[in-house]
Every structure is written in structure tokens, then in C-alpha cells.
Structure 1
Amino acid sequence: MDETDTAGGFSGAEGEYQLPHIASTYAALLSLVIVIDDDNYERIKKGIIVEKIHQWLLSLKQPNGSFFMHTNGETDVRAMYCALVIINLLGIKDKKLTENCVEWLVNCQSYEGGFGGDLMDEAHGGYAFCGLSALLFLIDNPKQLYDLIDVDSLISWMVKRQYAMEGGCSGRTNKLVDGCYSTWVGSLSPILEAITGAEELINREKLENYILCCCQDKGQFGGFKDKPTMRVDFYHTNYVSCGLSICNSFHFIDEKIMKEDGLAFSFKAGKLNDNCPLELVDPVFTVPIGTPLRFKKYMERE
């Protein structure tokens, strides 16, 4: 936790002149979400200066509901999603931080059905994930989603991101498939299945085949990559692995958790394939299922 900036958030690296950044703070907190337990809870809670993070986020909040990624930085749906993850994990949700967020988010849904990064932008897989997931922090139950966005249009756009020949997913219309969209587009499927009651919106078997046949490095390095011609890297290894877990699981909403802790924390999962060695993944947070709620409960302790 040495990368926390005096302004409140986490920066991308240790050292002087590092601006606190919403994406870095989001990543830092989710890293702690994965490792937190009774032995290191007190040290983590003392190390996170919650009030300073709250004030820092308020300084990034814009009147139209959006957030700067960092001081005088860009605003986009990604910043909104990361901010809401931080706010809800730390239990600092209030009217000042959420005012106009819903209105700004719903206006980012494009005519195609997906979400763009900002108003009038092209629909994009990563922003669609961020937009839908962000809304789950701002509504009380799944039915409200139908009043805010065109759910059917979003589903139509999402299923078109999976290509019949490759089986993998693309991020935008007429773009090549990319392994990382196994999470960004792949996670939309279990979320929307749980909300709508649909059985399978993305063909899991075809996506799994693309991942294992085209994204897996079978040489000396291992790991996963974007597509056969690319090299492996940590980013794609993480998000392709999450996508592979989603291919082998089903998700549903626990109504008791939804009433007590909110819709975004309420997803549970089960395995479709007992032979899959990967942990079950939370489709909203893209970390092991149950760990965000555990972290939230830790932070609520007196």
C-alpha cells in the first residue's frame, strides 16, 4: 500500500509526481480483495485512508455525473465503473458521489445497443461491460434496468460480438476478435442471463474453443494472448482466464444479498464443468466470486 498518494487515491507506481488515478485505485483495491483475510485485515484497514479517498473522488466528480480518471484527466464510462467499485467496496456511497450518474450512464448507450465511452461514442465491448456493471451499483433490483436502458438492444449487440467462424468475441462492429473480450463481452452474458432469465446468450463452447485453441501459448512461456499472431502478456492472461472460467459456469442473483448489500454484490455461481480448474469469477468485479462481498463486510466492521 505504499503507492497511496497523499491526495487519497492510489497511483500506478511508487515515487514522486505520481498522480492518484481511478483505474490504479480500482486495481489496487481488487488486489486487496483477493488477498484479504483475518490475519491481515487490520493492517489493510489501517492502511486505506477511506476519508481521503472519499474527498479525492469528490474532487473528480463532474456536475453531469461523470468522473475524471485523474485530476484534469479524461471522463468516460470506464472511470464511472471504477469509481463505483471503489465507492461501494469502501462503503462511502452518498448522494454527492452518485448524483446524475444514472442519467449520464444511460445516455452513453448507443444506437447499436452497446455502450460507448462517452456520449455519442461508438459502442465498445469494454465500455459496455463498464456501463452495465456500473448501473448495477445504482439500482435496487434487476427490473429497474428495463426502465433505464434498452435491454433487448444491448443483448442483440452483445450476441453479434461473438463471431460464428472463430467463436471468439470482438470489441466493436466489424473488428477482429480479441481474447480479452472473453471477459468484457463474455461477462455481459451471465449478468444479462441472470437478469432476464435467458439460458445462454453467448455460446460458451465456441468461446472456450477459441480460448484454448487460439489464445493459449503452448510453448515454453504458457499464458494467454489476444490471438494466434500475438505474444502472451499479463493483461490477456488475466482476462482470457476470467473468460474461460465464465465459459464453464452459470450465475444467478441471491435476493437476500441483493436486499442487504445491493444488486452488484449479489451474484453467485456454480460450475458447468467440474473438470475446469479455474475459480468461479464474479461477472461484475472479475475476481473470485464472493471475495468483493467479503471485503465489503470486513470494511464495515467497527
Structure 2
Amino acid sequence: MPLFEFHDLRQLQKDDDVRTESSREQASTEGTLNKFYNPYIQKQALFFDSLVLFIEEHTKFAKKGLRTLPSYFDSLDASRPWFCFWCCNALSMLPNLGNDPTLVSDFSNFLGNFCQDKEKGGIAGGPGQLSHVAPTFSGTIALCALKANQGLDLIDKQKMYSFLYSLKDPVSKGFRMHVDGEVDTRGCFCALIVATVLNIMDDKLTEGVAEYIVNCQTYEGGIGAYPGVEAHGGYTYCGLAAMMFMKKAHLLDLDSLTHWLARRQMSYEGGFQGRTNKLVDACYSFWVGASFPLLEAALVSLKDPKDRTELDQQILDYLQWQPPTLDSETRIKYTPKTFSLKDTLKKIKTHHNSEEYCQIEEMEATEPYLDLQDSEWMFNQTALQEYLLLCCQQESGGLRDKPVKQPDFYHTCYALFGLSISQHNPSGSLAVLGDCKNLLRQINPLFQMCTDSVSNVLNYYGGRTSV
């Protein structure tokens, strides 16, 4: 395996000698990460073979969130289905759930009988609370991740549909997070993934939603929470995924979206930021990292079916997603100018090298410096794995935003999601950095759970293998 000159390929910030608060924070972050990267840089041959994911420790950490939590978690009492989602998904990617035979029945009972509103539908953040589309999403997907069909049987699909429809805003056509709550792209994603999983999606639910999300795409290319606000990695994923569920991702400006996503991978750190001029954060390993497979599938959908390659079909199969049937006029209208990956990277690189252009956080679009010939996503999978394995693991268990932060269940789940995406390619080839035992189970980035769990629930609700 060839070695590389780390600092030749992973550049520190360039601030044009103009010191700002954000440039000082960036320099401080790079200085902190340098302490983790330096031993790696000095002893690459050793580190390439010895980088280890602390599987046993992360397993123990995730299990802590499943039963009894310390009193200082009281402020998150309205987020209890999220703990089910984060911890069960984290454990599902690791070797096994351990010796807890009552987990499925206990969670099915808790989410289906105690958190579900039996009168109005939907799932609340805790027993006796108001139904909310976010815990409705997290609770439903947690049951799917556990393959808890007995828990899914407890969900009243008719009342769930009524609940989701009650959240549609008659003016914007987007979805509210709860009755009289805010309208944003999160609400659209949460409502549509639940409707997709439970097989209750129809035109009445989706009416006007695509137009709302298109209006949330910003001049930068990413997607904001609602029209007129800054593009954000989490909302970009939510908006893009929602469009995928409606088979309308091609309506977005995929050209500018590609460029915005490509610029979120940090030059020195290797991880992703969530917004322009912000710091790296491990959770965006998923929110941004997962957007690339969705984007590639959206691009494939614009190809004439007879022109699709074997890899194109593998991308669709990876997401368990069937593209819409588009006529030639629609394909021509919405196909971006920089359609191919090669042309996209060339254009981005040229843009980066122009004298008038300088962004301290953007990553050069070079060929992967580690010889992973099967790297097929539009980001540097090796650099992301380096950041997660070297900088984000707590040796006692759990993953964190960055080294100055403490591990938590949220970042543990989404960092592992991102790590899984960077290890698995649609062709079935693997790109695992370090010890071969670091390999996680494959997740489906569109559904936020392991691929076999997606297959189980799609088959359970309608005998489907894809959507």
C-alpha cells in the first residue's frame, strides 16, 4: 500500500491573513486534530494495518442508552424514541445486539402502546406527550431496525395517515413538525419516510411537497430548513431524501447540489462540515455523506434506461430504490450540465484553482490518495474514515463530534452510519481502512437502517423489495 505526503494532500486553512472569529476556531480545531494525526503521519505503514474500531466499547456504550439513563438526561424526556433509534441502529451495525432477548418486546410495547397516540395517531416523544413527526419517524424506524414486526403491528396505519395529513400546511404544502408547529424540510422527510415504510403514501400526502422543497434549495446549491434560509447538511439530506421518496429528485438543481456537497468535506480534517465556513462535525458523516449515494441515484434516474450501466443499477439496488419513468423531454430538461462524475470533479477542481476563489473549508477534488480503486462515491472515503477512527472515537466507548467534545448517542449513531457508507460501495466491493474487523454492516442511506431491515419492512408492508 503506497504511502503519501499527508500535508501535501490535506491542506491547512488559507485565510488570506485576515483573522476572523471563524478562522481562529478553524485554526484551533486543526491544531487539536494535528495531535491525533501526527503519529499517523509519522508511522503510516504501522497505522494502515492497526487502525481499530473499538467495537466492544461502542457496543457497551450504545447499550447504556437502552434501559435506565442518569438523571441529567431529564431534559431529553421528550426524545425517548430517539434513544431507541440511535442506540438500536448503532448496535445493528455492530456484530450483534448482545444477550437481551426482551429488547424487541419491550421496545415494541413502549413505542406502540405507551408513546403512540391511540386516538389521533402518531408517536410522541414519551408517554402522555403530544404526537410529533420526529419521534414518529425515529420510533417507527427503530422498530424496523429491530425487525420488530410485533411492534409494527401495533401501529394504527389509518390513524397514522390521518396524523400525517393533519400536519400538511395548506399554504406552503410542506409538513409541520407537530400540530401548530414549524414547517420545514425535516417535517417533509419524517412524514414521507414513515408513509413510505408503512406503504400509506398517496398523491394527497405529497401534493405540493416537491415544489416546497425545490423552493428550499439555495443559491449555493444545498437545501435549507425553509425557503430563504442558509443551506445546511441535515436539511439538504432531508430535502433530497424526501424528493427521492416522491420520485422527484430530478426537479432539484442537481448540478449546484453536487458542487455544494463536494465542498463540505474538510481539507485537513477529512470529515464533513454542515454549512459553509463552519467546523467539522462527525454527525455530518451521515447527513452529508449519505447525500452522495442519493445524489448519484438521482443522476442515474435521468439516464435513458437502455444507457444505464451495471454500476448504475448497483447504485439503485444499494438504495433499494426504483427511479421514476421519465420521458426523453423531461430527461433532457433536467439533466445537469456536469452530469458525469469525471466532468464534475474536473469542473470543481478548476473552480478551486482559480485565483479569485478561496474557501478555507473546501476540499480539493483530487484522485483518492490511498489506492482504493473501488471507491465509487463522490467523496474521499479514506479521509472520512481517518477522521472517524483517529479523532472521533472515545477509547472507553462512544463517538464524538470532534476531540474536544464528549461522546453521545446521537454522534455515535450517525458517525457509525457515515463509517458504514464509506466502507461499502454499490458494487459490493469494500473500502475498509485499518483492521478488517472494522467492517460494519451495510446501511441503506435512504432509510437510515441496515439493508436487511429495509428488505424486511418493505416486504412486510406490501411484498416490496424496493420503493
Specify the TM-score bucket, using the shorter chain as the normaliser: 0.7 to 0.9
**Counterpart in the other structure of 1:214:** 391
Following superposition, the deviation at residue 67 of structure 1 comes to 0.7
Query: Is 1:98 aligned to residue 201 of structure 2?
Result: no
Contact 1:77 1:131 in 2 (8 A): yes
Following superposition, the deviation at residue 7 of structure 1 comes to 1.6
Which residue type is aligned with residue 404 of structure 2? Answer: T
**Counterpart in the other structure of 1:258:** none
Query: Is 1:47 aligned to residue 154 of structure 2?
Result: yes
Contact 1:61 1:67 in 2 (8 A): yes
Following superposition, the deviation at residue 65 of structure 1 comes to 1.7
Instruction: Report the Cα distance in structure 2 between the residues aligned to 1:76 and 1:270, rounded to whole angstroms.
Output: 37
**Counterpart in the other structure of 2:138:** 27
Which residue type is aligned with residue 384 of structure 2? Answer: L
Alignment of 1:94-173 (within 5 A): 94-139=202-247, 145-146=249-250, 148-173=251-276
Q: Deviations over 1:58-85 (max 9, x none)?
A: 1111122201100111111011001000
Instruction: Report the Cα distance in structure 2 between the residues aligned to 1:75 and 1:192, rounded to whole angstroms.
Output: 24
Query: Is 1:297 aligned to residue 459 of structure 2?
Result: yes
3-state DSSP of counterpart to 2:163: helix
Following superposition, the deviation at residue 182 of structure 1 comes to 0.3
Instruction: Return the match for 2:291 from 178, 188, 197.
Output: 188
Contact 2:423 2:439 in 1 (8 A): no
Q: Deviations over 1:146-202 (max 9, x none)?
A: 4x1111110100111111111111000000010000000010122223444644311
Which residue type is aligned with residue 239 of structure 2? Answer: G
Task: With a CA cutoff of 8 Å and minimum separation of 6, indicate the structure with the bigger relative contact order.
Answer: 2
Query: Is 1:229 aligned to residue 404 of structure 2?
Result: yes
Which residue type is aligned with residue 229 of structure 2? Answer: D
* More displaced 10-residue stretch of structure 1: 18-27 or 275-284: 275-284
Query: Is 1:282 aligned to residue 457 of structure 2?
Result: no
3-state DSSP of counterpart to 2:459: helix
Instruction: Return the match for 1:57 from 155, 158, 164.
Output: 164
Contact 2:116 2:131 in 1 (8 A): yes
Q: CA RMSD in A?
A: 1.7
% identical equivalent positions: 41
Contact 2:442 2:451 in 1 (8 A): yes
Instruction: Report the Cα distance in structure 2 between the residues aligned to 1:124 and 1:35, rounded to whole angstroms.
Output: 30
Contact 1:245 1:276 in 2 (8 A): no
Instruction: Report the Cα distance in structure 2 between the residues aligned to 1:195 and 1:88, rounded to whole angstroms.
Output: 18
Instruction: Report the Cα distance in structure 1 between the residues aligned to 2:429 and 2:225, rounded to whole angstroms.
Output: 32
Contact 1:169 1:185 in 2 (8 A): yes
Instruction: Report the Cα distance in structure 1 between the residues aligned to 2:209 and 2:458, rounded to whole angstroms.
Output: 22
* More displaced 10-residue stretch of structure 1: 162-171 or 43-52: 43-52
Following superposition, the deviation at residue 299 of structure 1 comes to 2.3
- Structure 1 residues not aligned, in runs of 5+: 253-268
Contact 1:194 1:251 in 2 (8 A): no
Contact 1:84 1:137 in 2 (8 A): yes
Contact 1:248 1:276 in 2 (8 A): no
Query: Is 1:174 aligned to residue 287 of structure 2?
Result: no
* More displaced 10-residue stretch of structure 1: 289-298 or 203-212: 289-298
- Structure 2 residues not aligned, in runs of 5+: 1-111, 300-311, 313-340, 342-375
Which residue type is aligned with residue 20 of structure 1? Answer: S
Tell me which structure has the larger Cα radius of gyration: 2
Following superposition, the deviation at residue 290 of structure 1 comes to 3.6
Which residue type is aligned with residue 215 of structure 1? Answer: C
Instruction: Report the Cα distance in structure 2 between the residues aligned to 1:250 and 1:21, rounded to whole angstroms.
Output: 35
Instruction: Report the Cα distance in structure 2 between the residues aligned to 1:207 and 1:127, rounded to whole angstroms.
Output: 21
Following superposition, the deviation at residue 34 of structure 1 comes to 1.2
Instruction: Report the Cα distance in structure 1 between the residues aligned to 2:153 and 2:116, rounded to whole angstroms.
Output: 12
**Counterpart in the other structure of 1:76:** 184
Following superposition, the deviation at residue 297 of structure 1 comes to 1.8
Which residue type is aligned with residue 245 of structure 1? Answer: S
Following superposition, the deviation at residue 277 of structure 1 comes to 2.8
Contact 1:8 1:52 in 2 (8 A): yes
Which residue type is aligned with residue 176 of structure 1? Answer: L
Instruction: Report the Cα distance in structure 2 between the residues aligned to 1:50 and 1:240, rounded to whole angstroms.
Output: 32
3-state DSSP of counterpart to 2:216: coil
**Counterpart in the other structure of 1:249:** 424
- TM-score of the two chains, using structure 1 as the length reference: 0.86
3-state DSSP of counterpart to 1:217: coil
Q: Which runs of 4+ in 1 moved over 4 A?
A: none
Between Structure 1 and Structure 2, how many residues are aligned? 272
Contact 2:121 2:131 in 1 (8 A): yes
